[in-house]
């Protein structure tokens, strides 16, 4: 009797364990199915709504098409106006850029001109100062200086010309002599 009772208990326990494992498996399967099908369940009403909306859309009649055409024409006109405005603005900007470039060039050339003047200035006032006191003090001094300066220039030019002429003549004359001798 005791053995029979133990066997029955074991069977009962075994059955309970099997039942529990079956329940677990079933629960897991159901959970997996729920997780997998959940997005489909959520999307289903959206798809149904879309189809309803598709059926509810107005049929494209001639009036409807003409309205659409007029809207498109208005949009096109607006875009054309905007494009023209932008084009004019761009042209204006380009002209301004050209003007600015010319102005920059003028400024640069002006700066260069001023620099050149500044570089030349230290020589000019020195010459002016030399000339001015002579004019102020003695108006006859420049007349005296001119005849003095002329004879000074003449002897300078003469010795320069003479040595240049002499060596030129000598080597030219020698080959003629050599040729005549030959």
pLDDT tens readout for residues 129-156: 555 554 555 545 444 444 454 444 444 4
Name the packing angle between helices 141-181 and 123-137 (round to 10°): 120
Q: How many helices (H) and strands (E) does the chain have?
A: 4, 0
Q: Does the residue 93 lie in any domain? A: yes
Contacts of 134 (CB under 8 A, 6+ apart): 141, 142, 145
Instruction: Tell me how far apart the alpha carbons of residues 121 and 131 are, in angstroms, rounded to a whole number.
Output: 16
Which segment, 33-42, 83-92, 155-164, is predicted with the most confidence on average? Answer: 83-92
User: What is residue 80's predicted lDDT score, i.e. its pLDDT?
Assistant: 93
Give the residue-averaged pLDDT of 22-32: 80
Q: Per-residue pLDDT averaged across 3-28, rounded?
A: 86
Report yes or no on 99 lying in a domain.
Answer: yes
More confidently predicted of 31 and 11: 11
Q: What is the 3-state secondary structure (H, E, C) of 72-85?
A: HHHHHHHHHHHHHH
Whether 131 is covered by a domain: the verdict is no
Question: Pick from 65, 93, 112: which residue ends a domain?
Answer: 112
Q: Which two tokens stand for residue 44?
A: 């289903």
Domain span at residue 88 reads 83-112
pLDDT at 159 over 50: no
Residue 151 lies in a domain: no
Query: Cβ–Cβ contacts within 10 Å for residue 134, how many?
Result: 14
CA dihedral 77, 80, 81, 86 (to 10 degrees): 160
Is 127 within the bounds of a domain?
Answer: no
Domain termination site, one of 74, 96, 112? 112
Number of domains the chain is built from: 2
Assess whether 1 and 45 both reside in one domain.
yes
What percentage of the chain reaches a pLDDT higher than 70? 51
Looking at the structure, tell me whether residues 7 and 49 fall in a common domain: yes
Q: What is the mean pLDDT of residues 81-104?
A: 90
């Amino acid at each position: 009797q005791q053995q029979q009772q133990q066997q029955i208990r074991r069977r009962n326990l075994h059955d309970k364990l099997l039942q529990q494992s079956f329940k677990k498996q079933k629960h897991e399967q159901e959970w997996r199915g729920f997780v997998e099908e959940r997005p489909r369940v959520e999307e289903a009403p959206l798809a149904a709504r879309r189809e309803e909306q598709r059926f509810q859309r107005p049929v494209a009649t001639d009036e409807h098409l003409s309205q659409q055409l007029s809207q498109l024409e208005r949009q096109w006109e607006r875009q054309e106006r905007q494009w023209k405005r932008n084009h004019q603005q761009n042209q204006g900007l380009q002209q301004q850029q050209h003007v600015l470039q010319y102005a920059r060039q003028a400024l640069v050339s002006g700066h260069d001109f001023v620099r050149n003047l500044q570089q030349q200035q230290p020589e000019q006032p020195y010459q002016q100062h030399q000339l001015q006191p002579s004019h102020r003090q003695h108006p006859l001094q420049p007349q005296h200086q001119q005849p003095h300066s002329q004879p000074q220039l003449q002897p300078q030019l003469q010795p320069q010309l003479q040595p240049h002429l002499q060596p030129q003549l000598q080597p030219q004359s020698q080959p003629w002599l050599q040729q005549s001798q030959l």
